[in-house]
Amino acid sequence: MISLKERYGYMLWMRHFELTCLKGVPTKEIHGELHTAIGQEAISAGMVGHLSPHDAMCSTHRNHMHAIAKGVDMRSMLAEIFERSTGLCGGFGGHMHLFDKGLKFSATGIVGAGLPVAIGHAYAAKLKGNGAIAVAVVGDGAINTGAFHESMNMAGAMKLPLVVVVENNEWAISVPFSASSATETIAERAPSWSAHGIRIDGLDVELVSQEFGRAAVRARSGEGPSLIEAMCYRFRGHFEGDADMYRSNDEKENRRKQDPIAITKEKIITNLTKK
């Protein structure tokens, strides 16, 4: 069982990994769009410890923290992001296409395209009966794509061992979630796919761990797919260089005060004080 203090340590690793990546943009060691997940650390840290090397994880263009949660070597990953020959893919994949065959981790820059890959892994696990599961991490923008709905329907119809984590940071690039969704939440759509759905506070690492752990157990037990909608907020623009004019300065300033790392630190201190 991973303690809150250990999860806090993972959150720090994730934050500093992203900050290190930022250094490669002005030096032009990183080309193309760099997407960081600063402010969303609690979601990835909450998944730590619930997955085995046999479980598959399919991520997005904002993938670094998910890879760390899965156990991907950070040195090799950083080398890949900085386009070095010592990287995971020899420097050819870059930050949006990290791939670790041994840990069954992959990422794609195509919105919503990770879920069809994940159900392939989930179907293979079901055929083999090896107790493995597949995890797909997507953003709120991906849930309105055709591939997402088709995959969720197939996962529900076949009761595949799948866990879908939706990092709802409320913005699909510059489009607010409220303007692009016909429903107030994503989780409430889950029953239409015969999936278990829940919306949680993605800033609470313990809550994320609790619900992700339950979903993983549910999947391994043959109870079918689960969808976890984790509410969060990205502190930086959609990509490095994004003018980010679609969010007001007041909004960004107020939301950054809800830093999951600071929240977790305060919880640890409070727990120690009680003792």
**Catalytic positions:** 234, 238, 246
Give the Å distances, CA to CA, from 150 to 101, 161, 166.
26, 16, 16
Phi, psi of 155 (to 5 degrees): -60, -40
DSSP 3-state of 65: helix
Phi-psi region of 85 (alpha: psi -120 to 50; beta: other; left: phi over 0): alpha
Residues 36 and 24 sit within 8 Å (Cβ to Cβ): no
CA torsion 35-75-115-128 (nearest 10°) is 180
DSSP 3-state of 206: helix
In angstroms, how far is the first alpha carbon of the chain from the final one? Answer: 20
Residues 103 and 53 sit within 8 Å (Cβ to Cβ): yes
Residues 55 and 132 sit within 8 Å (Cβ to Cβ): yes
